[in-house]
Structure 1
Amino acid sequence: MSAQSAAFRSSLNAGSALMAAFVAGLLAPLLVVLLVLLGAPFGASAPVGAVAFGLLFFFLVPRVPKEWVSYLRGKSRVAFVLLALASFLVVVAMGRLGVFMYDPNLKQFSLTPKIEFMVKHTCLSGYVSAAVLAEQGKENIFNLSNYKSHELDALLPTVEPLERDYYAYPPQFLLLPKAMLSLSRDFFTLRAGWYVLYAAAALLSMWVVASWVGGREGAVLAALIPVVWLSLPTLVNVQLGNIHLLVFGLCLGGMIAFDRKRHALGGAMLAFAILAKIFPGVLGIYLLVQRRWKAAFWTAGFGVVYTVLAFLVVGEKPFVDYFTSAVPRISSGELFDFVWTFTPGILVNYSPFGVPFKLQLVGVQFADPLAVSRAIIAVYSLGVLVLAVAVSHRLYKREVAGEDGSRFRLTQLVVWLALMSLSSFRSPFAPWTYCAVGGVWLFAAYAPFVRSGAKHLVPFILGWFIISIYGPPIVGPMVAFTLVAQTVLYVSGFWIAWKVSSPSTAPEALPVASVQQG
């Protein structure tokens, strides 16, 4: 302990204290929620959380990388204070959210207490309900009406005062909710536990990614973690519990594991991410184009393992229903018919598929909007495929030529994020509530490439802001706002991936990195 104390004293400074306090401030409340979940009274759990914060701070301060501390030391006082404020706001928001996640009746602690959807929606309810239906082996888990059926209320987990979500994922993903059901059959216990696991895993993934990038580039990413957390798409993901954010973490963890020659771990992570959300399959194209045969083999192998295991656990019916019922209706958009019949669903949908239906809300008519939507998504998908092949080949040539270092690792990260973000919008229904988080993370990763000067910084910050919020609750202005935000997400994804993958990309420091503390 004396060695730890000496390390703490020698490492303690404003930068290390800020990063350590942010991480400890997120993890300590999660411990309180976990203790209450296990039956400890809140009055006893809160002091334990306070002690945990102190201990975490004590042990984390010496472990903040020196490059991160150096970068933060070089910030102006104004920038440092703003970053500290963002960290504080995230900790407060997560602390409040923990109360709501433990007790859904305390909706005043949710992110947006006055928005009914945000208060009542929980993606986990669909995951768990589908796993329960699969256990029975009778119902089609991809029949969305089953999740609103009064006849099945006695069978499905009780979720009131929340609303039950539906299930539209591959059968292999059921392994996760089945594992959760083996721990508890009480939905609210699972919901609180899922919140703890989700937030901790998301934070860990961001820390690991910044550490892997390393150097000054990794320091910029680390400094922006509180900003990424403060964005609404991140916080909304955490509250709703959609697996989307964790899928990004799994994908990046898998790709980093491949880079470190830990192919089995990488394959296990990436395969589950692909089978959970499908869109990470774009990274499979990346691996094949780059001739990373071992990584591709391990990913495919774990995909087979998960499939066989799911078949044994949930049976044949979910697979039959998935390929005969769900896949055709997902491809056509028919599974998500509310995308063109329900105005809030039309507005929140950031998929190119939904553009014609948004235009119809403001008077633009189409003889067959579904045909137009399918044509748009086909062209968009082809564009993403071509981009994936092109940028993967570019990076392969650069790596073969011997390029390495933190700058190149950041370039790889940016390309991975861009491809995943763009691919996530290929679904006929890609709601802003969780899909925009890929764009938020992409902007953070691209920040070290941004040139100095208002003409570069202003569009960058404005674009980041537009995708991080949701527009006014009036149909006309909302249609315009969401179309602009979608355009920012698509154009920035294509442009950033193409730009950073270019062999001629010159190293350009983030302008704030050169601002010395005054």
Structure 2
Amino acid sequence: MSARSAAFRSSLSAGSALMAGFISGLLAPLLVVLLVLVGVPFGAALPVGLAALALLFFVLVPRVPAPWVEYLRGKSRTAFVLLTLASVLVVVAMARLGVFMLDPNLKQYSLTPKVEFMVKHTCLSGYMSAAVMAEQGKENLFDLSLYKSHEMDAVLPHVEPLERDYYAYPPQFLLLPKLMLTMSRDFFALRAGWYVLYAAAALVAMLLVASWVGGREGAVLGALTPVVWISLPTLVNVQLGNIHLLVYGLCLGAMISFQKRRHALGGAMLAFAILAKIFPGVLGIYLLVQRKWKAALWTTGFGVLYTVGAFLVFGEKPFVDYLTSAVPRISSGELFDFVWNFTPAILVNYSPFGVPFKLQLVGVEFSDPLAVARAIIAVYSLLVVALAVAVAHRLYKRETGGEEGSRFRLTQLVVWLALLSLSSFRSPFAPWTYCAVGGVWLFAAYVPFLRSGAKHLVPFVLGWVVISLYGPPIVGPMVAFTLVAQTVLYVTGFWIAVKVSTPARAPEPLPASVGPAALG
């Protein structure tokens, strides 16, 4: 213990204390939730959580990577104070959320107690309800009216005072909620457990990604983890429980595994991510262009394995319903027809598909807004595919040319994040509440590439704020705000991917008149 104490004292600094405090402060409330979930009274779980916080802080301080500490040591006092404030706010928000996850009636502990949607919405309710219906094998999982039907209340999990969400994912994703149902049929116990797993996995994913990048670039990304968390898209993802943020973690973990030649692990993660959300399929294009055949084959193999597993567990009906009912209606936007007549849903939709419907709110008329929306999303999709091919080819040439190191690893990470963020908006309905998280993470990853000076820093910070917050609750200004935010997400995604993937120009050789020969 004396050796550990000495290591703690020698490693303790403002930077190591900040990072260790943030990590332990975020994980300790999760432990309290977990203890209460297994039956420990809250009054007993709380002191255990505080003790765990102190112990984890003691253990983590010597383990904060030296480059991270060095980077934080070089920051100005103002920047360090702001980063500390962000860390404290995240810890407080997560501790409060833990209370709300244990008791949904205590809505005052949610992120936004006065916003009815945020208080009552839970994506997990849709996952679990679909898994229950799939078990019975009678209903069309993609008939959204079933999720609001009083006749189904006796069959589906009880979720009041929350509201039941619907299911619009591929059948293979049902393997996850099915696994959860084998652990418990109590929705609120599963909700609290999902919160613990979700938050811990998201934090670990961010820290591991920063560690993989390494060097000063990884230090910057690691130190900015609290900034990624303080954004509303990250916290909202955690509260609502949408799989979206974890899909990013799976995708990045998969791509890093492929870089380490752990193809089976990478294939298992990427295949599930694609079958959960579809949009990560853009990384499949990336792999093919880069001629990473083993990675593509392992991903395909696990995709087949998950499909066979879901077929054996649930039968053919979910697949038939998905292909004949869901896919055509998702592509056309008809599955989300309730969205196009509901102003709050139109405003929160950050997909290019929703632009005509937003413009109609401020007086721009379209004879057929759905036709316009389909044309817009078709062009957007082609641009994303073209971008994926172009940047994958560029990075392939750089990698086969021998380029490596933390700077290049960060370049790869930024490109992956940009492609994922852009492709996530391909869905006709891509709510800001969780889809903007890719842009938030992308901005943080791009910081080491950012040029110094106010003319570069100020627009960058303003862009981050615009995508991290939600606008005024007035239709006209809100339409303008969201259109600006969408434009920021699209333009920066394309621009950053192109910029970082472009090889640095080699210095031109000196003219012979000023070269070594002339000096002789």
CA distance in 1, matches of 2:266, 2:57: 30
After superposing on structure 2, the runs of 4+ consecutive aligned residues of structure 1 that deviate more than 6 Å are none
1:194-233 matches, within 5 Å, as 194-233=194-233
Q: Tell whether the 8 Å contact from 1:99 to 1:109 is kept in structure 2 after alignment.
A: yes
Look up the equivalent residue of 1:282 and give its one-letter code: V
Q: CA deviation at 1:339?
A: 2.8
1:158 aligned to 2:158?
A: yes
Q: Tell whether the 8 Å contact from 1:471 to 1:482 is kept in structure 2 after alignment.
A: yes
CA distance in 2, matches of 1:389, 1:294: 18
CA distance in 1, matches of 2:395, 2:155: 51
Show CA shifts across 1:325-356 (max 9, x none). Answer: 00000000000012311111111100000000
- 2:9 is matched with 9
Answer 1 or 2: higher relative contact order, Cα 8 Å, separation at least 6: 1
Q: CA deviation at 1:65?
A: 0.6
CA distance in 2, matches of 1:355, 1:260: 41
CA distance in 2, matches of 1:228, 1:479: 25
CA distance in 1, matches of 2:265, 2:6: 36
CA distance in 2, matches of 1:94, 1:127: 23
Show CA shifts across 1:413-456 (max 9, x none). Answer: 00000000000000000000000000000000011111011111
- 1:354 is matched with 354
1:453-492 matches, within 5 Å, as 453-492=453-492
CA distance in 1, matches of 2:254, 2:474: 42
- 1:512 is matched with none
- 1:334 is matched with 334
1:48-447 matches, within 5 Å, as 48-447=48-447
- 2:30 is matched with 30
Give the TM-score of the pair, scaled to structure 1.
0.97
CA distance in 1, matches of 2:232, 2:215: 28
The two structures, once aligned, show a CA RMSD in angstroms of 1.0
Name whichever of 71-80 and 20-29 sits farther off: 71-80
Look up the equivalent residue of 2:77 and give its one-letter code: R
Q: Tell whether the 8 Å contact from 1:339 to 1:354 is kept in structure 2 after alignment.
A: no
Q: CA deviation at 1:411?
A: 0.3
Name whichever of 126-135 and 53-62 sits farther off: 53-62
CA distance in 2, matches of 1:78, 1:455: 19
CA distance in 1, matches of 2:506, 2:230: 30
- Sequence identity percentage: 84
Q: Tell whether the 8 Å contact from 1:348 to 1:433 is kept in structure 2 after alignment.
A: yes
Show CA shifts across 1:285-337 (max 9, x none). Answer: 11110011111111111111111111111111100100000000000000001
Q: CA deviation at 1:506?
A: 9.4
Look up the equivalent residue of 1:267 and give its one-letter code: G
Q: CA deviation at 1:5?
A: 2.3
CA distance in 2, matches of 1:459, 1:125: 39
Look up the equivalent residue of 2:354 and give its one-letter code: G
Secondary structure, aligned partner of 2:224: helix
CA distance in 1, matches of 2:42, 2:404: 50
CA distance in 2, matches of 1:18, 1:451: 26
CA distance in 2, matches of 1:169, 1:13: 47
Q: CA deviation at 1:276?
A: 0.2
Q: Which structure 2 residue ranges, 5 or more long, are not aligned?
A: 508-520
Name whichever of 448-457 and 380-389 sits farther off: 448-457
Look up the equivalent residue of 2:361 and give its one-letter code: L
CA distance in 2, matches of 1:139, 1:280: 28
Q: CA deviation at 1:505?
A: 6.9
Secondary structure, aligned partner of 2:427: coil
Q: Tell whether the 8 Å contact from 1:417 to 1:442 is kept in structure 2 after alignment.
A: yes
Secondary structure, aligned partner of 1:182: helix
Q: CA deviation at 1:261?
A: 1.3
Q: Which structure 1 residue ranges, 5 or more long, are not aligned?
A: 508-518
CA distance in 2, matches of 1:457, 1:84: 20
1:448 aligned to 2:443?
A: no
Look up the equivalent residue of 2:67 and give its one-letter code: E
- 2:518 is matched with none
Q: CA deviation at 1:62?
A: 1.2
Q: Tell whether the 8 Å contact from 1:417 to 1:438 is kept in structure 2 after alignment.
A: yes
Secondary structure, aligned partner of 1:166: coil
Look up the equivalent residue of 2:312 and give its one-letter code: L
Which protein has the larger Cα radius of gyration, Structure 1 or Structure 2? Answer: 2
CA distance in 1, matches of 2:469, 2:82: 19
- 1:511 is matched with none
Cα distance, 1:505–1:136 mapped onto 2, change above 3 Å = farther
Show CA shifts across 1:21-44 (max 9, x none). Answer: 100000010000000000000111
Give the TM-score of the pair, scaled to structure 2.
0.97
Look up the equivalent residue of 1:62 and give its one-letter code: P
CA distance in 1, matches of 2:95, 2:279: 32
Show CA shifts across 1:468-506 (max 9, x none). Answer: 001111111110100000000000000000000000279
Look up the equivalent residue of 1:242 and give its one-letter code: N
CA distance in 2, matches of 1:269, 1:288: 17
- 2:513 is matched with none
CA distance in 1, matches of 2:239, 2:249: 17
- 2:501 is matched with 501
CA distance in 2, matches of 1:329, 1:304: 24
CA distance in 2, matches of 1:409, 1:297: 23
CA distance in 2, matches of 1:6, 1:161: 51
Aligned residues: 507
CA distance in 1, matches of 2:220, 2:424: 25
CA distance in 1, matches of 2:505, 2:110: 43
CA distance in 2, matches of 1:206, 1:54: 22
